[in-house]
Amino acid sequence: MDNKMQLAKDKLIVALDVDTIERAEALVKQLNGTVGMFKVGMQLFYSAGPDIVRRLKEQGVKVFLDLKLHDIPNTVGQAAKALAGLGADIINVHASGGSAMMRAAAEALQEGAGVLNIPAPKLISVTILTSIDQNTFSGEIGLPGDIKDKVRDWALLTKGAGLQGVVCSPREIEIIREACGQEFEIITPGIRPSWSVTGDQKRIMTPAEAIGLGASYLVVGRPITGAADPFDAAGRVLVEMTEGI
């Protein structure tokens, strides 16, 4: 594996948006060694339970636990403390919960991991979901201004609260890089390879485009997990990613 392909592999997160442990583990078996990390979201976590994270970690893979915690600071802090022991590599909260909530989560993760004497997961925030376009943002949610400006503001709030990065659409990569620096993690869903369908994502970009703009990680789900041959689909995504490196 050449350097560009290895770098692409390390940056690719496959979303295990399935509802059974068996399906998730089958995908991990197919793709382990080809991708850098697997995302466990609400669908899988709520159907399979917390043990799914432990089982995946036992297979030696990295896990992004995508539960988007969002509640009052104490509740989110206690939830983060409970999740710290699962062994996930990344956990997230919603930036719209505010800085006090994000700080509570960060402190609780450190406390929970410290009690167990294990490394604390990275903590990142979710800004604006990639399924939301400007019309929804302004007309339905009722927030003023441009989506990009709000994403930048929440990224700065996230950094100020001591978190390591954000989830955002690839269209906000440049503005966040400029505002938050090169060390800030930017995880981008809304990635659609040139050969795949858009689905319900709206603020999207190809793998090569997102990598070229400076994304830290790309999250790809259905174009890989819904393919007849997920291993082949992952390989095709990696090839596109190398074009942006």
HSE value, Cβ hemisphere, 13 Å, CA-based, for 69: 28
Catalytic entry in 9, 11, 66, 159? 66
* H-state helical runs in 124-165: 134-135, 147-160
111 contact partners, CB below 8 Å, separation of at least 6: 81, 84
Do the beta carbons of residue 126 and residue 68 sit within 8 Å?
Answer: yes
Give catalytic status of residue 68 as yes or no: yes
39, β-bridge pairs: 15, 64
12, β-bridge pairs: 218
Known binding-site positions: 17, 39, 66-75, 130, 192, 201, 221-222
Q: Which residue's entry shows tokens 């692409």?
A: 8
Known binding-site positions for substrate: 17, 39, 66-75, 130, 192, 201, 221-222
Catalytic entry in 4, 57, 62, 71? 71
Which residue type occupies 102?
A: M
Catalytic entry in 68, 122, 133, 202? 68
Give catalytic status of residue 66 as yes or no: yes
Q: Which residues are catalytic?
A: 66, 68, 71
